[in-house]
Structure 1
Amino acid sequence: MARFFTKVAALAALTLGLVGSIEAAPGNSLNYTGSICKDYVDYPVWAPPGVTIAMLEGGLVKAGLNETILGSLKAALPFCSNLFMINTCSGTFPRIDPIPVPNRPNSVNVRFACKSACQSLVTECAEYFTAVGAQAFLPNCEAPILATLQTVPPNGILYQPDGECNKVQSLSNAGAGPANNLTVTCQHPFVADPRPNGKTANEQYCMLGCCMKCPAQYHLYREGALEKGFTITNIIRAVSMVFSFILFLSYCLLPDKRSHPSALILFFSLSVFLFSVVIIFPLVDTRSMQCFDEINPTTQKNSLKCAIQGAMLIFASASTCAWCTVLIINLHLHTVWNSAWLAKKYLMIHTICWGYAAAITGVALGLGEVKWEFATLCLVSQHRAPTLFFYPMAAMIFPAFLVHVATFAHIARISAQASGDSETMSRSTLSAGAAAVISHRRHVMMAIRIQWRAALMAVCSILAVTFYWLFYFIQLKKINPATLKDHIIHFVSCLKKGSPHDFCADELAPFLPPYGLMIAAEGLVSSIGIVIFIVFFKATLVREWGDWFSSIGYLCSGKRKQKKEQDQFFVI
């Protein structure tokens, strides 16, 4: 395909070098006998002395315009192919005016390419030449034609106005006329650009009369692949929602789970539940969360549901990272410094965690950057996500990760020292300093036995979020339509040749984020609720829930009131 783009660029350069217009030009009148412009030339052709049709056409072939390349160009972009051939053929094979020039019996009027044809090519097809990296070869319709600088020195001749130029049309009438009036045939899964008010429906997803149907990325992979993959990740997130809600209720309702540090897990599980509960929106109607209409994706400006769901997801993501950071710091303070400092700072903790999440969400909404671009959920737009979403969270979570590493390094060092010391030595034989060291070791080992679940959960959450961030930064940008434009043109050309969609998708696959990696990244962050449920749910919770339901049943039966009335007889 790269060779094809190179040849198209060379062909555009050839157009610059051959088209022009002169009057009373000496030369020969020839019948066109070539093949490349057979659908455009049906008139006597002017050629300079000593030049034949075969030589002119040989120059085109040498530059890369053969029937194979022309077929590929016509299959991919029929109306641009038509405009390109009109401009090329009218300039390469100028028309001889049948009216002879007075007083010049050996000369004839010659009509070269029209300025209007040049302008139509530039106006309608500049985007295509830009996509293939050949924008430098588009003709400059205001400058002298390069070839005439040699034939009519020193200034050459400009493109000619209508009525005085070689006005060429397609003899087959296929794609003839101005490009704006062409009937464009768009290959499935592309649809014709409706061009409301004369403008393209979406500059990002439309090009040269055809638009990629929303959701755009779904059509670039094998048929049904992303639908199946994201359905699986949606189910995982739904299960996470249920499990995180159970855990949240456990730490919210059970009596001994509402004190420090269990309260930290309560608010962390609440954040994870909010992070997972947004899946309700696409589960109810996936397409309405992705697409505003047939072409345009949803944004906070055209879809209230996208705005609400996106705000919830941004807020929950930031608050999850914030409460995970607090858990890590609390573990570090308790394990390394034997401090419960955070137990008395809950007002400050709530202000920082919820305020931090609200600030990130407010900025994203205020700048209008919430939209759908990936999977089934609205989030911050790709080009603003690093500064508005990922970097602010990284500023909190990565320092916390370093604190976590320091905590485990301290635990490892203390454990190594403990294993090297004799455990049979009585405390009476130890100095005060040695006894303090052993006491700290015992404290550390007790702390890790009590809080290893929080430590494991923090590690799992950080790993999942980091994996997703790396995928987002390294891979997801590949799916941007602006990045894929030249490859999508090849994809369209492949479809127009009659190749199966999956075959064309396989050819496009090297330029897209790997399918398995995409589903893995989305599935990993979707499973956080399941992970924390597995880590924190234990047999004692079942017994505590049993006791809680028993107490509720006891209260509802009225026995507690009866017991209070009986106890009044024993009150003095």
Structure 2
Amino acid sequence: MEPFTLLNITHACPAPLIASPISNYTSKTCIGGCCLPCPFINNFYPPAQIDTIYTALSIVRVLSFVCILTIVISYSMQQSKRENPAMIVLLLNAFLLVFLSVTFFYIGNHKDIQCADKFTQSTMENNILCGIQGVLLILSTFLLILYCLLLILQLHVQAVWKSNLLQRYYVHTQVFIWMISLSFTFIPAATKNISFDFGAVCLVSGKISITMFWTPLAIFVIPAFLIHFMTFIHISRAQWMLARDFENSSLGTVITRSSISVGGPITGQDVLNVIKIQWRSLLLTMILISTFIVFMIYSILATHQLSPFLSDSTDLSPWIFEWISCLMNYQSTNNGQMYLHGLDSKGDHGAGDLVGQRRINDPEDCSVKDNITGCKPSFVFSISILYDSETCVEPLFIISILTD
């Protein structure tokens, strides 16, 4: 990496960089006193776009909170709903209420949670709100998933095995659920691995999120889906057989076209009748497993791609160095700012449109000329691509994930 020659530091830092209070300060997100503002991921999107999205999501979450609160209050006022096994449903909704309540930590100003100051992203050490919100979110997530598993497992045991085993060991299951949830909350909190990485909330730090958050959750979520699917098949089969038996008994010994078909193959109408009865629970389970898988995959990918920002190292990552250097070297030109937002001086897309190319082997093929900065991150769906316009090196991909 070639040495960077800083321009006159009396000039204002080019957008989106902002001036550090420490002159010529250099860190993993700063060069010569010009730094990426917190939150870092917002700098790769048009101004205020991410905050607008999170504000909209926050409104949805607040409305959801009100709806769940209504359910919890209604259940609490009914004696029958406060007894086992209905109590599990009440607890499930109560922990969902806690899960949604973390929205109130950042609604109105997301940076209260995201940032410790203008240049530093939050951790539980530099932002107490981040720590409290992170603990509540981790604990409520595990409790929510485990009580969902318990509800699914109880239905399976009763419907398939005709057993009340879980009801007999109700206290034991409660102790197990709380021990697991508190353990996976205590470990990241005790090791100070709760931080803001991306999205709108603080969660388990990307350094240990796979082993201490996503993998443990997967151990419970995936079996819950499989168990519920087995229960769905069993109940569907039982309902189909019951319907056939009822049809047979109602027809008696009268020989008709319908009675002859009794005991024959399952028809499309039979399948539709079963789905009409069972589709809600199956749909909720499908949403649970698909949402979990999507969030887990994108979180892991985003953590890997954003590792230069999330690591403990104070060294400047090569691609961050090149990008910030590029911005600062072209701060005196209009192209430098216009290319940051994807347009050249004529309003057309320019050098940044090298989207999807893994490598440009021939410098002559590079569309970047001397009068073009190439400083802009290009966006394709949720993938940002950065590259060095001078050397045409391999683009670097940043997968930016919106989580709430």
- TM-score between the two structures when normalised by the length of structure 2: 0.70
Shift in alpha-carbon separation, 1:283–1:216, aligned structure 2, 3 A: same
Return the alpha-carbon distance in structure 2 between the equivalents of residues 247 and 78 of structure 1.
62
Counterparts of 2:277 and 2:90, CA distance in 1? 16
Letter in 1 for 2:103: I
* 1:470 aligned to which of 287, 297, 300: 297
Q: CA deviation at 1:215?
A: 1.6
CA distance 1:356–1:276, shift in 2 (3 Å): same
Shift of 1:251: 1.8
In the alignment, what sits opposite 2:5? 78
Shift of 1:378: 1.0
Show the 5 A alignment for 1:136-147. none
Could you say what secondary structure the match of 2:207 adopts?
coil
**Pick aligned residue for 2:74 from 250, 256, 260:** 250
1:493 CA drift (Å): 5.9
8 Å CA contact 1:324–1:458 kept in 2: the answer is no
Shift of 1:309: 0.7
1:509 match:
378
Aligned counterparts of 1:503 and 1:232: Cα–Cα separation in 2? 28
In the TM superposition, what is the alpha-carbon distance from 1:451 to its structure 2 partner? 8.3
Alignment of 1:146-225 (within 5 A): 186-195=13-22, 200=26, 203-207=27-31, 209-225=33-49
1:461 to partner: Cα distance: 2.8
Instruction: Quote the Cα distance in structure 2 between the aligned partners of 1:488 and 1:339.
Output: 63
1:427-468 CA distance string (max 9 Å, x none) = x99xxxxxxxx9xxxxxxxx9999875554444333322222
| Pair 1:315 & 2:139 matched | yes
| Secondary structure in structure 2 of the residue aligned to 1:424 | helix
Alpha carbons 2:31, 2:325 under 8 Å: kept:
no
Moved more, 255-264 or 378-387: 255-264
Q: Corresponding residue for 1:178?
A: none
In 2 relative to 1, CA 344–350 (structure 1 residues): closer, same or farther, beyond 3 Å? same
Q: Secondary structure at the match of 2:197?
A: strand
SS at match of 2:186: helix
Between the aligned partners of 2:151 and 2:29, the Cα distance in structure 1 is: 44
Aligned twin of 2:196 = 372
What stretches of structure 2 of length at least 5 have no aligned partner?
254-262, 264-273, 310-316, 343-351, 353-376, 385-398
**Counterparts of 1:233 and 1:503, CA distance in 2:** 30
Residue 282 of structure 1 deviates from its aligned partner by 0.4
Does the 8 A contact of 1:297 with 1:373 survive in 2?
yes
Structure 2: how far apart are the matches of 1:325 and 1:207?
Answer: 50
1:383 counterpart = 2:207: yes
- Residue 91 of structure 2 corresponds to 267
**What corresponds to 1:545 in structure 2?**
none
Larger Rg: 1
Q: Which has the higher helix share?
A: 1
8 Å CA contact retained: 1:234, 1:279: yes
Which residue of 1 is the match for residue 221 of structure 2?
A: 397
Give the 3-state SS of the residue equivalent to 2:118 in structure 1.
coil
Give distance in 2, aligned partners of 1:223 and 1:473.
26
Deviations 1:119-170, CA, capped at 9 Å, x for gaps: xxxxxxxxxxxxxxxxxxxxxxxxxxxxxxxxxxxxxxxxxxxxxxxxxxxx
Q: Is the CA contact 1:271–1:320 (under 8 Å) kept in the aligned structure 2?
A: yes
1:513-535 Cα offsets, whole Å, 9 max, x none, are 359x967x63xxx6xxxxxxxxx
Cα distance in 2 for partners of 1:462, 1:277 equals 22
Equivalent in 119, 128, 151 of residue 295 of structure 1 = 119
Question: How far off is 1:188 after superposition?
Answer: 2.1
Name the structure 2 match of 1:488. 323
1:307–1:417 Cα change, 3 Å: same
2:16 and 2:103 map into 1 onto residues whose CA distance is 27
Aligned to 2:177: 353
Identity of aligned residues (%): 25
Summarize the Cα distance change of 1:280–1:251 in structure 2 as closer, same or farther, 3 Å threshold: same
Contact 1:275 1:313 in 2 (8 A): yes
Deviation at 1:235, TM superposition (A): 1.2
Distance 2:321 2:379 in 1: 13
Question: Would the aligned equivalents of 2:76 and 2:82 in 1 still touch at CA under 8 Å?
Answer: yes
Alpha-carbon contact 2:232-2:278 (below 8 Å) kept: no
> Does the CA contact (< 8 Å) of 1:333 and 1:340 recur in 2?
yes
Choose from 234, 239, 260 the match for 1:410: 234
**What letter matches 1:230 in structure 2?**
Y
What residue identity is the alignment partner of 2:5?
P
Match of 2:63 among 233, 239, 254: 239
Q: Which amino acid in structure 1 is aligned with residue 292 of structure 2?
A: V
1:336 deviates by 1.2
SS state at 2:222 partner: helix
Structure 1 gaps of 5+ residues are 1-8, 13-72, 80-173, 176-181, 430-437, 439-446, 527-572
**2: CA distance, partners of 1:398 / 1:380:** 21
2:25–2:33 contact (8 Å) kept in structure 1: no
1:423 maps to 247
Code of the aligned partner of 2:155: L
Distance in 2 (alpha carbons) for counterparts of 1:332 and 1:388: 28
Report if the CA contact (8 A) 1:478-1:511 is conserved: no
* One-letter identity of the residue aligned with 1:368: K
Q: TM-score, length-normalised on structure 1?
A: 0.51
Instruction: Decide whether aligned partners of structure 1 residues 491 and 240 sit closer, same or farther in structure 2, where only a CA change above 3 A counts.
Output: farther
Is 1:227 aligned to residue 51 of structure 2?
yes
Q: 1:495 Cα deviation (Å)?
A: 6.5
Provide closer, same or farther for how the CA distance between residues 205 and 252 of structure 1 changes in structure 2, counting only shifts above 3 A: farther
* Distance change in 2, residues 1:503/1:421 (3 Å): farther
Shift of 1:376: 2.1
Instruction: Give, in angstroms, the shift of residue 308 of structure 1.
Output: 0.6
CA contact (8 A) 2:25 2:34 kept: no
Question: Using the alignment, how far apart are the partners of 1:270 and 1:329 within structure 2?
Answer: 19
- 2:100 maps to 276
Q: Hey, what's the Cα distance between the residues in 2 that align with 1:372 and 1:501?
A: 28
**Shift in CA distance, 413/514, structure 1 to aligned 2, threshold 3 Å:** farther
Distance 1:469 1:491 in 2: 34
Return closer, same or farther for 1:455/1:356 CA change in 2, 3 Å cut-off: farther
Q: 2:130 aligns with which of 278, 282, 306?
A: 306
How many angstroms does 1:409 deviate by?
2.6
Deviations 1:54-99 (A, max 9, x none): xxxxxxxxxxxxxxxxxxx9xxx532xxxxxxxxxxxxxxxxxxxx
Corresponding residue of 1:6: none
Contact 1:479–1:513 (8 Å) recurs in 2: no
